Amino acid sequence: MEGTFRALRVEEVAPGKFDQRIESQEIDALPAHELLIEVEYSSLNYKDALSAFGQPGVTREYPHTPGIDAAGRVLEDASGTFQPGQQVLVTGYDLGMNTAGGLAERIRVPASWAVACPESLGARDAMALGTAGLTAGLCVQKLLAAGATPEGGTAVVTGATGGVGSIAVALLAKLGFRVAAVTGKLESAEFLTALGAEKIIDRDMLAEYSPRALVKPQWQWGVDSVGGETLFNLIKATGYGGAVAACGLAGGAQFNASVYPFILRGVSLLGIDSVEQPLSAKAAVWEKLAGEWNIGEKLARITEELSLAQAPEFLARLHRGHGIGRYIVNLN
Ligand code: NDP
């Protein structure tokens, strides 16, 4: 298909210095995959900030269009999987990493990366959830499979004001859990209590390494988007038979650990990846997020809508850890 579209392009303007600007692109320059989508909404995730600021573990070659999430209408599908006009959504796989991403009016991807957008969500709410919502859903799903129940004890969420964190707080509260929210933004306590958090914990309390092998249990279940020493501090304070789902590294990738919480308390550490999940597993979580796990008006409370032109400023905010909730980008 011929024609042009607008995209957020990231360029390395000097060694290690990355610039973002809106540029016009040729549709023909998109990768030669079968599914061409007119993007209606995209969203901003921490990984997009890493791509926009040159993290080589996310994006190897520039100029590049970031955006790991996209939802919109099918323009063409050479695979025949989707009909023109059908609303679909794509999260993860290589979108926005080394394949031109969703911060653009058009994407072209393998049809095997897309799921039908749940009708009850539509493109806007699907992107308000985005990879962050999918990841929070996968964390909760794995915790439930590990035996988590509201009666079993409190659920703790780290990086609580962030995208994954804020949706995890709202989802766990919806499912009846008492939620403790760990945050570096104590001034956002009201935001977190409105999402359903009963207790707010200063992130500094969990940030440092401590040589103690175990501490008094403070919760039974956890969703951790921060990683680093915070993750093992969460595990050390998890009650007998509890579990922590680890999905992120906003605070760091390395941590010191011992086997004691695992062999003395039977605590489980559950790894979460949203990117390479089989499409059917992603679709199943999307159906839940659209149905029985729908967080309702809380989704609007955590979502801020941006234009494409505003994306660079907000990507910089996410990069500094200063984001709050979810940012969607309107490409209509
Ligand atoms: P956001 O930027 O929206 O949220 C991250 C939050 O983490 C911040 O708002 C902040 O919350 C907290 N934080 C930031 N910096 C630090 C720090 N130095 N130390 C401790 N806490 C910090 O990111 P997302 O929600 O999009 O992603 C969160 C993490 O999860 C990222 O590491 C991301 O890469 C990962 N992720 C992994 C996925 C997977 O498939 N495994 C999928 C999606 C995300 P507060 O101020 O409230 O403490």
Q: What amino acid occupies position 8?
A: L
Centroid of ligand 1 to alpha carbon of 17 (angstroms)? 23
Ligand 1 atom nearest residue 165's Cα:
25
Domain span at residue 256 reads 132-271
Rg (C-alpha) for the chain, rounded Å, is 20
* Stated pTM of the model: 0.97
pLDDT band at 12 (very low <50, low <70, confident <90, very high): very high
Centroid of ligand 1 to alpha carbon of 1 (angstroms)? 38
Q: Which two tokens stand for residue 285?
A: 């979580």
Best residue for ligand 1 mutational test, from 95, 183, 225 (most atoms within 8 Å of Cβ): 225
β-bridge mates for residue 108, sequence order: 36
Best residue for ligand 1 mutational test, from 134, 164, 208, 275 (most atoms within 8 Å of Cβ): 164
Cβ-Cβ contacts under 8 Å for 24 (sequence gap 6 or more): 4, 5, 6, 7
Instruction: Based on the fold, state whether residues 165 and 263 are members of the same structural domain.
Output: yes
pLDDT at 240: 98
pLDDT band at 196 (very low <50, low <70, confident <90, very high): very high
Centroid of ligand 1 to alpha carbon of 77 (angstroms)? 34
User: In this structure, what CATH number is given to the domain that contains residue 144?
Assistant: 3.40.50.720
Q: What is the pLDDT of residues 259-301, one digit of tens each?
A: 999 999 999 999 999 999 999 999 999 999 999 999 999 999 9
Domain annotation covers residue 150: yes
Cis peptide before 211 (omega within 30 of 0): no
Instruction: Based on the fold, state whether residues 113 and 141 are members of the same structural domain.
Output: no
Comparing CA positions, the residue from 331, 283, 285 lying closest to residue 116 is: 283
What H or E segment, with its residue span, contains residue 181?
Answer: strand 179-183
Instruction: Based on the fold, state whether residues 67 and 150 are members of the same structural domain.
Output: no
Domain annotation covers residue 286: no
Cβ-Cβ contacts under 8 Å for 252 (sequence gap 6 or more): 226, 227, 228, 229, 230
Give the span between the Cα atoms of 297 and 307, in whole angstroms.
22
Centroid of ligand 1 to alpha carbon of 198 (angstroms)? 21
Percent of the chain with pLDDT over 70: 100
Give the span between the Cα atoms of 176 and 44, in whole angstroms.
28
Domain annotation covers residue 159: yes
Give the span between the Cα atoms of 273 and 227, in whole angstroms.
14
Instruction: Based on the fold, state whether residues 185 and 235 are members of the same structural domain.
Output: yes
Q: Are strands 179-183 and 106-109 parallel, antiparallel or unpaired?
A: unpaired
Which residues line the pocket of ligand 1, CB cutoff 6 A?
45-47, 131-132, 135, 159-165, 183-185, 203, 225-226, 247-251, 272-275, 318, 321, 323
Give the span between the Cα atoms of 225 and 202, in whole angstroms.
15
Domain annotation covers residue 280: no
Centroid of ligand 1 to alpha carbon of 164 (angstroms)? 7
Give the span between the Cα atoms of 29 and 46, in whole angstroms.
26
Instruction: Based on the fold, state whether residues 145 and 259 are members of the same structural domain.
Output: yes
Q: What ipTM score was computed for the predicted complex, to two decimals?
A: 0.99
Give the span between the Cα atoms of 330 and 332, in whole angstroms.
6
Neighbours of 69 (CB within 10 A): 31
Give the span between the Cα atoms of 64 and 174, in whole angstroms.
38
Instruction: Based on the fold, state whether residues 12 and 92 are members of the same structural domain.
Output: yes
Domain annotation covers residue 104: yes
Please calculate the CA angle 247-248-251 and round it to the nearest 5 degrees: 150
Percent of the chain with pLDDT over 90: 99
Centroid of ligand 1 to alpha carbon of 247 (angstroms)? 9
Question: Atom 7 (ligand 1): residue with closest C-alpha?
Answer: 159
Give the span between the Cα atoms of 215 and 236, in whole angstroms.
6
Give the span between the Cα atoms of 218 and 239, in whole angstroms.
7
Rounded (10°) CA dihedral 73, 113, 3, 327: 70
Domain annotation covers residue 228: yes
Instruction: Based on the fold, state whether residues 207 and 249 are members of the same structural domain.
Output: yes
Ligand 1 atom nearest residue 321's Cα:
14
Instruction: Based on the fold, state whether residues 248 and 178 are members of the same structural domain.
Output: yes
pLDDT at 2: 75
pLDDT at 15: 93
What H or E segment, with its residue span, contains residue 144?
Answer: helix 122-145
Write a three-state SS string for 19-36.
EEEEEEEEHHHCCCCCEE
Does the pLDDT at position 45 exceed 90? Answer: yes
Please calculate the CA angle 271-273-275 and round it to the nearest 5 degrees: 170
pLDDT at 258: 96
Q: Which two tokens stand for residue 232?
A: 């093992």
Centroid of ligand 1 to alpha carbon of 273 (angstroms)? 14
